[in-house]
Chains A and B, each alone.
Chain A
Amino acid sequence: MNRDDIRSKLRDIAREIFENDELEVSDALSPDDVKAWDSLGHIRLVTATEEAFAVAFTIDEIEGLRTIGQIVALVDEKS
């Protein structure tokens, strides 16, 4: 799976989790841009990502992830 595949799957996950079918999911998207991306929203996003790509993040990684681009890169690195 290349980064574009990861990006498009992650876009679907983010839209579902943040309950916004029209959400523009760019690499720069961060909690500052999405109201539903609060601390629990972050956990939902991370656990859904772990499940969808069959990867596991460390707590440092989870707490350090700030943007969609960082998640894409980390998934790419681990899968």
Chain B
Amino acid sequence: MSSPAFSLMELPWLPRLAADFRSRLTSIVDAVDVDWGTGMRALATQYLELNQAIALARALGTLRARGESPSLTKFKLGLVSNATVDFVKPFLEVSALRHGIALEIVAANFGQFAQEAMDPASLVNRARPDAVLLAVDHRGLPFRAEDSSRWPPFDHRPAWDQISGVCEAFQRNCGATCLVQTLPAPSNLLFGSLDVGVAGTLRASIAQFNALAASNVAAAGDVLVDIDWLAQSVGLDKWYDDRYWFMARMPFAQKALPVYADYVARLVAAMRGKSRKCLILDLDNTLWGGVIGDDGVDGIVVSEGDARGEAFRAVQAAASDLRKRGVVLAVCSKNDEPMARSPFRSHPGMLLKEDDIAVFLANWDDKATNIERIADRLELGLDAMVLLDDNPVERALVREALPTVAVPELGDDPSIYARVLLAAGYFESVAFTAEDLARADQYKGNAERVQLQETSRNLDDFLRSLDMEIEFAGFDAIGRKRITQLINKTNQFNVTTRRYTEKQVSALETSADHYTLQVRVRDRFGDNGTIGIVICDARPDAWEIDTWLMSCRVLNRRIEEAICNRIVADAKKAGARKLFGVFVPTERNGMARDLFERLGFDAVGESHSGERWVLELDRFEPFDVPLAERGDLMQAT
């Protein structure tokens, strides 16, 4: 193959199209009464060109019309543009599928982009989408100054005003979060190198637009899509194909469609908390060159000054940086454990240390089994895992056995491993919080707690030995990002799985009709941060739990009992006599199914929304819990 080692447009982390694509697609469509979500997601997890994307998107439409898949998360995306986006649609659908999202696209007519936002009765506004993608091209924005006879020819202000006005209008008219794209640099310069520094050139104007977007979009609760970086990375020569702009207003080359759509889809998935959380590393020829069992600590290649060694160090540096931003690291290697640990202890070229690894499994069991063990130890789902492994056989086996684990293709050249891992976007995020910073340590603490639990005589002794402290507060601006993150990504311990945007969360902070709680827990292994969220509809006589979710890493610690004590105390104080709970079953939240029963609620039957439960507050005896409630708390109303 003459192509360069790494080409972003070809999504090199995905396996190439399998020969049986069409027949597998047909057999999924022909099957009845089975969940098609996992099979379709696996089909989408390979490199697709336009024709395959269209075939897959069409099959997806047929299947969804028969019934939604419980293994996919629904998301409604408005699509507005000042360019032709007909070809974007099927790619967005299949790329979302790849990330576990069943995407419904509501597309406005070509060019109707500002009107669509301003008119409350427009197609997109009436559809009340979860988010709206502003797929705009700079050539359709008013960058060119109105007076064409004098300097400067371009101005970023009218363009920025239009975009920010559109965002505000969608917020006002349908409450949707906007996905706002940064703009790629123009293909042509006016002076040359001078353009970048001279206000009024197109290059400088677009740069100013992007700077405004970077500082304003997230602050307004919207989400930035960095298409500028994407186009740079692809290369502007390849990104722009002016023939198709002139003929059909297509904003970029067709060849860039797959990567563009994946780039958008991974952000949509991140908004739903579907980003991966744990990176599992193979060792031999993934973290270092050579085989530790054969070559020994002195024989492996992982030092500066050696090209292969530097390539492997780049993989370690990438993993280490991911850890710093909250991704948990684990090791899964077919090796004897002392041998596998020896480079971490004694090779001076190693950037990763044993302390960076939350779970270290080196044995001769098959990798799928070990990956399941790692997920259990960390109390994370398999769909939160990424496996980095140079061995194509292991990759294929894990993909087959555990289709929800992400397994990037790596090829033979270690110089691209780090780049492939990072370019795949597994750890895409729409916010960065203090909790993220502490997370990797928390998971490590978790694994240590599991060890302590094994040595404690009984659960209560163990829990008391943790010296847990619990702290309650109502929703506030400081916690807003983390609260929104938990509401949108918690799937397992979540009684209703209702999702709210940051704007809705912000409205709850001051709502007189709602009672809200953010719950923090500390113990002697560290601060777990905010691990629980409660929202109640607070009617005068009775409260109803709209949302109750908890982070899986603090389960089985009787924290739910402490939370129940607190809700009941506050409900009574407010004069309520009953507390209702609703359990809405999903494929993922089985572990929360018995919550209300365990807390002493009585079943009152099923409604259209789920199983209903009630607690008579007069008869409630507070639980004796192994946690200290800490400090003088904010009034949680």
Are these two chains actual partners, yes or no?
A: yes
Question: Which residues from chain A sit less than 8 Å from chain B, CB to CB?
Answer: 16-17, 19, 39-40, 43-44, 47-48, 51, 57-59, 62-63
**A39 to B248 alpha-carbon distance, docked (Å):** 8
Interface 0/1 of B217-252, CB less than 8 Å to A: 000000000000000000000000001101110100
List the B side residues contacting A57 at CB < 8 Å: 243
Find out whether the CB atom of A40 lies under 8 angstroms from the CB atom of B50: no
CB within 8 Å of A: which B442-468 residues: none
**A57 to B244 alpha-carbon distance, docked (Å):** 11
Find out whether the CB atom of A48 lies under 8 angstroms from the CB atom of B247: no
Find out whether the CB atom of B248 lies under 8 angstroms from the CB atom of A40: yes
Find out whether the CB atom of A59 lies under 8 angstroms from the CB atom of B255: no
Find out whether the CB atom of B51 lies under 8 angstroms from the CB atom of A17: yes
Q: Kindly report which residue of chain B lies nearest to residue A39, judged by CB atoms.
A: B248
Q: A17-B51, A44-B50, A47-B254 are in contact. Are A59 and B246 (CB under 8 A)?
A: yes
Find out whether the CB atom of B247 lies under 8 angstroms from the CB atom of A63: yes
CB-based closest 6 A-B pairs: A16-B51, A47-B254, A59-B243, A40-B86, A43-B248, A59-B247
A48-B50, A59-B247 given; 15 more Cβ-contact pairs under 8 Å: A16-B51, A39-B248, A40-B84, A40-B87, A43-B244, A43-B247, A43-B250, A44-B87, A47-B244, A47-B254, A48-B51, A51-B255, A59-B243, A59-B246, A62-B247
List the A side residues contacting B54 at CB < 8 Å: 19
Q: Kindly report which residue of chain B lies nearest to residue A47, judged by CB atoms.
A: B254
Size bin of chain B's contact surface? 10 to 19
List the B side residues contacting A47 at CB < 8 Å: 50, 244, 254
**A2 to B493 alpha-carbon distance, docked (Å):** 63
**A57 to B255 alpha-carbon distance, docked (Å):** 16
Q: Kindly report which residue of chain A lies nearest to residue B50, judged by CB atoms.
A: A44
**A51 to B238 alpha-carbon distance, docked (Å):** 13
**A15 to B250 alpha-carbon distance, docked (Å):** 23
List the A side residues contacting B84 at CB < 8 Å: 40
Q: Kindly report which residue of chain B lies nearest to residue A44, judged by CB atoms.
A: B50
19 A-B pairs in the complex with CB atoms less than 8 angstroms apart = A19-B54, A19-B55, A39-B248, A40-B84, A40-B86, A40-B87, A43-B248, A43-B250, A44-B50, A44-B87, A47-B244, A47-B254, A48-B51, A51-B255, A59-B243, A59-B247, A62-B243, A62-B247, A63-B247
Q: Kindly report which residue of chain B lies nearest to residue A16, judged by CB atoms.
A: B51
CB distance from A27 to the nearest CB of B (A): 22
Interface 0/1 of B51-64, CB less than 8 Å to A: 10011000000000
**A58 to B244 alpha-carbon distance, docked (Å):** 10
List the B side residues contacting A58 at CB < 8 Å: 243
List the A side residues contacting B254 at CB < 8 Å: 47
List the A side residues contacting B55 at CB < 8 Å: 19
**A39 to B110 alpha-carbon distance, docked (Å):** 14
**A62 to B242 alpha-carbon distance, docked (Å):** 13
Interface 0/1 of B584-615, CB less than 8 Å to A: 00000000000000000000000000000000
**A59 to B250 alpha-carbon distance, docked (Å):** 14
